[in-house]
């Protein structure tokens, strides 16, 4: 790139928005071009640098989504799922690549991502962390080696404020296991209660904790009668998701239209 990649951040006043603005302030390849918040937000007009714990950057929080996207080279969206159709519509109209990190997407949203990716390049991942995407790959490898021999469990721990359960990351881990092992949703159990029959060998259970201020912990367990393998990722700082998001935005520069994930970004 002859100049820095100009990035518009959607959902810029939230926890992830602040972290992304911090990462962009230190990036050698990218810079913040716009910080977008929802209409009527109390943050409208405030300096996004000061709000993010940095020095003043003179990029004020705005609700002008059209201008933000048209002026940017790349868009990073960490807003709310209800806003995704509008974000994708503007990105498509402006032919701007977009990184979607918004959580809690249902199949309708995912269908919209697939359809829009026929026109523009999109990176979508339920978790932008580099380490978590390594967890995805390691889970696939472990499932190929141990899946038919082991009882498999997934543990998802997040802060008490998180609304969706299981997390998008836990859902992705589930889907990796199902695809790798040729199993279906009928093999999935969410927690357990009451008198239980003997565990089905193909059962995969997901357990969800929502407590305290845990940023995000995920573990996949493979139990055999002789041993136990645990693959764990623990996020210590939200900045890990922001680093991955900015890396994804840089990956999209000059990229062909299509739907990419973080494994593509990381070459995994």
Closest of 53, 62, 109 to residue 86, by C-alpha: 109
169 assigned binding-site residue: yes
194 Cβ contact list (under 8 Å, min separation 6): none
12 assigned binding-site residue: yes
Buried/exposed code over 208-225 (b: 16+ C-beta within 10 A; e: otherwise)? bebeeeebbbbbbbbbee
208 assigned binding-site residue: no
14 assigned binding-site residue: yes
168 assigned binding-site residue: yes
Catalytic residue list contains 158: yes
262 assigned binding-site residue: no
201 assigned binding-site residue: no
Catalytic residue list contains 218: no
254 assigned binding-site residue: no
30 assigned binding-site residue: no
* List 18, 51, 109, 158, catalytic entry: 158
15 assigned binding-site residue: yes
* List 162, 202, 207, 239, catalytic entry: 162
Angle at 38 between CA 122 and CA 106, to 5 degrees: 45
- Which residue has 């359960």 as its token pair? 165
Residues belonging to the binding site for NAD(+) are 11-16, 101-103, 125-128
Show which residues are catalytic.
158, 162
Residues belonging to the binding site for (S)-2,3,4,5-tetrahydrodipicolinate are 159, 168-169
Residues belonging to the binding site are 11-16, 101-103, 125-128, 159, 168-169
């Amino acid at each position: 790139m002859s100049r820095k990649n100009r990035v518009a951040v959607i959902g810029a006043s939230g926890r992830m928005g602040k972290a992304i603005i911090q990462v962009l302030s230190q990036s050698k390849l990218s810079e913040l071009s716009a910080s977008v918040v929802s209409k009527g937000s109390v943050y409208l007009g405030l300096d996004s640098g000061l709000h993010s714990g940095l020095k003043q950057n003179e990029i004020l929080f705005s609700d002008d989504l059209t201008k933000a996207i048209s002026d940017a080279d790349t868009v990073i969206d960490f807003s709310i799922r209800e806003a995704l159709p509008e974000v994708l519509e503007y990105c498509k109209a402006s032919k701007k690549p977009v990184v979607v990190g918004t959580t809690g997407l249902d199949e309708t949203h995912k269908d919209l991502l697939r359809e829009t990716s026929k026109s523009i390049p999109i990176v979508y991942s339920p978790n932008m962390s580099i380490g978590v995407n390594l967890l995805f790959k390691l889970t696939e490898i472990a499932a190929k080696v141990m899946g038919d021999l082991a009882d498999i469990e997934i543990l998802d721990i997040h802060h008490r404020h998180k609304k969706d359960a299981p997390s998008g990351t836990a859902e992705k881990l589930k889907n990796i296991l199902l695809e790798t092992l040729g199993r279906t949703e009928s093999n999935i159990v969410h927690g357990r209660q009451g008198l239980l029959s003997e565990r089905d060998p193909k059962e995969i259970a997901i357990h969800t904790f929502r407590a305290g201020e845990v940023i995000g912990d995920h573990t996949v367990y493979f139990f055999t009668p002789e041993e136990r393998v645990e693959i764990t990722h623990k996020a210590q700082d939200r900045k890990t998701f922001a680093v991955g998001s900015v890396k994804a935005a840089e990956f999209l520069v000059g990229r062909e239209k299509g739907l990419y994930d973080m494994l593509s970004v990381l070459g995994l």
